Amino acid sequence: MQPVLTSLVALLAAGACLSPTGALAQDQLSPDEVAALRNEIATLRAQLQKMEQRLDAVTSAPQTTAPAAPPAIQPPAPVATTVAKASPPPAKPASAPTEITWKGSPQFTSGDRSFKAKGRIQIDVGQVDAPKGLADRGLGYGAEMRRIRLGGEGDLGAGFGYELELELSDNAVKLVDTFVTYRTGPWLVTVGNHNPFQSLDELTGDTVGAFMERAAFTDAFNFERRLGVSAQYEKGPWVLQGGLFADDIDALSNSSDGPEGGDENNSYGLDGRAVYAPKLGQTQLHLGASAHWRTLKRVTDAGTRYRQRPYVHASNSRLIGTAVLPVEEEVHYGLEAAFVSGRWHGAAETYWQAAELTTGTRPTFFGGYAELGYFLTGDTRGYRGGQFSRTRPSKPLGDGGVGALQLNVRYDYLDLNDRGVVGGKQDAWLAALIWQPLGYLRFHLNYGLLDYQGTTPLRNGDRDYKVNVAGARMELDF
């Protein structure tokens, strides 16, 4: 580029000399010099024109980029064979989102799987006013943490579910409902520790019952959860239940040696229950019956007692009860009837317990009750699956109402006398007022007049007397 610039400078200088206004006039040069300069200027103009054409060609050409790096050396491709390639595995479906709902406690649901923590707190106070002739320090005033229960329940998917609960009561920790279930259509199969379908009042949860304690015969006849397998069929108004059960968890888990050891416990039983529960208009009816057979096996060595507390659990005294009996086999059966119609509900049961003794005698004991309940608020008692269920206040406290207020009365009867066995009789007239401000919180006030005949004697030998009992409870469950 430097020669070109030099020529341009010379050209400009020559043009300046040749221009009329330049410092050099044409008449200062000879004709030959002027002609030579003109030729040189023409040559320079031609060169400048060629240079402009080259510059135009360079600037109009496309921009070039740096050459790409050479590709990495790849190994030679394998020789194709006739074996077909396996198709890639299908992509895993995206997991279902987790939904959180509130059912007394948070419930987590994802597709057909779920989990919910559950538990309850029950605090009782009670008063047993008995004749002074009873030398029993367990009477009078008492208070206790009736139940503390904690556990969880949920669904595992593919129809399987579970429940696990631990309870602290009577200063001991024990398993309560602890089982795995499988549901398909109208069928429900349960394996684990659960109730062997022993009466409507026993199956109704203690947090939804009409009274603080269940009917006298349920405790007197030793109803309890047992380890077993059962099946339930529920369709339309019908509920059919049956199962094979061993003994309760405490009896089976005893690790001591000898006749009291759990490893020697080989008792078992068969249990069944049928319920017909049609709905006539707004009225829910309930008709049921159950039958149970149990062979006690080694439990015979320890003996069996049939007895009951004076209605409040805070007292551990039993004013009615048999002596220790050498029971070899038990056969018991019961009838149930109930209804729910608007604010009203009613229930009644009768139950017989036949005990086959090793002595060859077979005493039969009897218990039953009838109750009637009414909601002072515009609520109704819950019912589902062949048993009473939770009441949900139509106007909870804090939501424009005071919750549900319920009044219940019950007559309860127990007879433990038969064929030489004298355990006594009990007539009980009971009343309960229940306030449920929220769906999972209840407060009880209970009163009972108990009339005993042929039971624990007074100091003067009298076996017939009356006892007044009163109780209160606060309970929270979730």
CATH (domain of 454) = 2.40.160.10
The Cα–Cα gap between 454 and 261 comes to 35
310 with 406, same domain: the answer is yes
CA 460, distance to chain mean position in Å, is 54
275 with 388, same domain: the answer is yes
**Closest CA relative to residue 345, chosen from 293, 385, 306, 389:** 389
Asked whether residue 84 is domain-assigned, the answer is no
The Cα–Cα gap between 319 and 459 comes to 14
User: Is residue 375 helix, strand or coil?
Assistant: strand
Question: Per residue of the chain (478 residues), what is the pLDDT tens digit?
Answer: 545 444 544 544 444 444 444 444 444 567 777 677 777 777 777 777 777 677 666 555 554 444 444 455 455 454 444 444 555 666 665 677 899 988 888 899 999 999 999 999 999 999 999 998 887 778 999 999 999 999 999 999 999 999 999 998 877 888 999 999 999 999 999 999 999 999 999 999 999 999 999 999 999 999 999 999 999 999 999 999 999 999 998 888 877 666 667 777 889 999 999 999 999 999 999 999 999 999 998 655 678 999 999 999 989 899 999 999 999 999 999 999 999 999 999 999 999 999 999 999 999 999 999 999 999 999 999 999 999 999 999 999 999 999 999 999 999 999 999 999 999 999 999 999 999 999 999 999 999 999 999 999 998 999 999 999 999 999 999 9
Asked whether residue 360 is domain-assigned, the answer is yes
Q: Are 161 and 183 in contact (CB under 8 A)?
A: yes
The Cα–Cα gap between 318 and 165 comes to 28
Tell me the backbone φ, ψ of residue 249, rounded to 5 degrees: -60, -45
Asked whether residue 73 is domain-assigned, the answer is no
The token pair that represents 335 in the structure block: 């009838």
Asked whether residue 398 is domain-assigned, the answer is yes
- Indicate the number of domains in the chain: 2
43 with 129, same domain: the answer is no
The Cα–Cα gap between 3 and 328 comes to 131
The token pair that represents 176 in the structure block: 């309560």
pLDDT in tens, 116-156: 999 999 999 999 999 988 877 789 999 999 999 999 999 99
365 with 269, same domain: the answer is yes
Q: Where are the alpha helices (DSSP H) in 19-89?
A: 31-60
**Closest CA relative to residue 300, chosen from 253, 264, 257:** 264
The Cα–Cα gap between 319 and 216 comes to 12
Task: Quote the pTM value.
Answer: 0.78
The Cα–Cα gap between 146 and 326 comes to 31
Q: Are 174 and 148 in contact (CB under 8 A)?
A: no
The Cα–Cα gap between 133 and 224 comes to 33
Asked whether residue 165 is domain-assigned, the answer is no
> Residue 352 CB: number of other CB atoms within 10 A?
17
46 with 127, same domain: the answer is no
Residue 46's domain comprises 2-55
The Cα–Cα gap between 166 and 155 comes to 19
Residue 21's contacts (CB-CB under 8 Å, 6 or more residues apart) are none
273 with 399, same domain: the answer is yes
314 with 426, same domain: the answer is yes
235 with 368, same domain: the answer is yes
Asked whether residue 76 is domain-assigned, the answer is no
32 with 132, same domain: the answer is no
The Cα–Cα gap between 365 and 351 comes to 8
124 with 39, same domain: the answer is no
- DSSP secondary structure letter of residue 91: P
Asked whether residue 168 is domain-assigned, the answer is no
Asked whether residue 45 is domain-assigned, the answer is yes
206 with 297, same domain: the answer is yes
328 with 428, same domain: the answer is yes
Tell me the backbone φ, ψ of residue 76, rounded to 5 degrees: -60, 140
